[in-house]
A and B are shown apart, each in its own frame.
Chain A
Amino acid sequence: MDLVLPDFGLLFWTGLVFCSLLFLLAKFAWKPILSAVNERGNSIAEALELAEKTREEMKTLKAENDQILKVAKAERDEILKDAKQTSNAMIESAKEKSKEEAQKIVDAARDSIRSEKAAAMAELKTHVAAISLEIAEKVVRTELSSDEKQKALASNLASDINMN
């Protein structure tokens, strides 16, 4: 039965030792350990928070950079497009002009050719008329050289009239 009855001597010593242990540990062990550990915990938490914040900042910074880059790209594209358009227009207008010029030259050439041709034709006509007159004179001379030939011609002409 004395197994379950508290013994006063041991109770006394337990009280003495445990209370002094509690006091000593609270003062020399738990306080420094807990403050160090909790401080470290806090600093770690702060560091984590800072890292998170930095990451957030980096994110926004990156987004900004991206925005700027996008704008610059768009601008560049615009400029390139404009330049292309201008050059195209210039080429186009140059082509147009040269075409016109060529047309003009061709037209002029054609005009001159036409006038030359007309002149040549006129000259040719006069020559042909003169030659025809000469030939006609010669033909008429031969045709009307005798009476029979004059009669035949007259009857020929007359038959033609009859046919009509």
Chain B
Amino acid sequence: MYGSIAAIGAGLAVLGAGIGIGQIGGKAVEGIARNPEASGKITTTMIIAAALIEGVALFGVVIGLLGGTPA
């Protein structure tokens, strides 16, 4: 039971990050479509923003995994 609750937590963390990164990717594509010359800058910014979200999400996943693992 212990492990499965942790897995739900990890799943929730991934859900949030998925929505966030999806938004970033979508908006970046919109931005590039509007202004194709700025695609390089947009891509860099997008990767950084996605990485920041992903860092938080992975933190959640790690906590979830730790909860699921008997130390």
* A contact residues vs B (CB 8 Å cutoff): 1-4
Q: How many residues of B contact A (CB 8 A)?
A: 4
Residues on B with C-beta less than 8 A from A2 are 71
A2 to B71, CA, bound (A): 7
- Chain B residue numbers with a CB within 8 Å of A1 are 66, 71
Q: Does B62 contact A (CB under 8 A)?
A: yes
Residues of B at under 8 Å CB distance from A?
62, 66, 69, 71
- Minimum Cβ distance to chain B for residue A11 (Å): 19
| Smallest CB gap from A3: residue in B | B66
A1 nearest CB neighbor, chain B only: B71
Give Cα A1 to B66, complex, Å. Answer: 6
How distant is B48 from chain A, measured CB to nearest CB, in Å?
A: 24
Q: What is the distance, in angstroms, from A5's C-beta to the closest C-beta of chain B?
A: 10
Q: How many angstroms from the CA of A1 to the CA of B71 in the assembled complex?
A: 6
| A-B pairs with beta carbons under 8 Å apart, 8 shown | A1-B66, A1-B71, A2-B71, A3-B62, A3-B66, A3-B69, A4-B62, A4-B66
Contacts of B69 in A (CB 8 A): 3
A2, closest chain B residue (CB): B71
Q: Which residues of A contact B71 (CB under 8 A)?
A: 1-2
Complex Cα distance A74/B50, Å? 72
Chain B: minimal CB distance from A90 (Å): 73
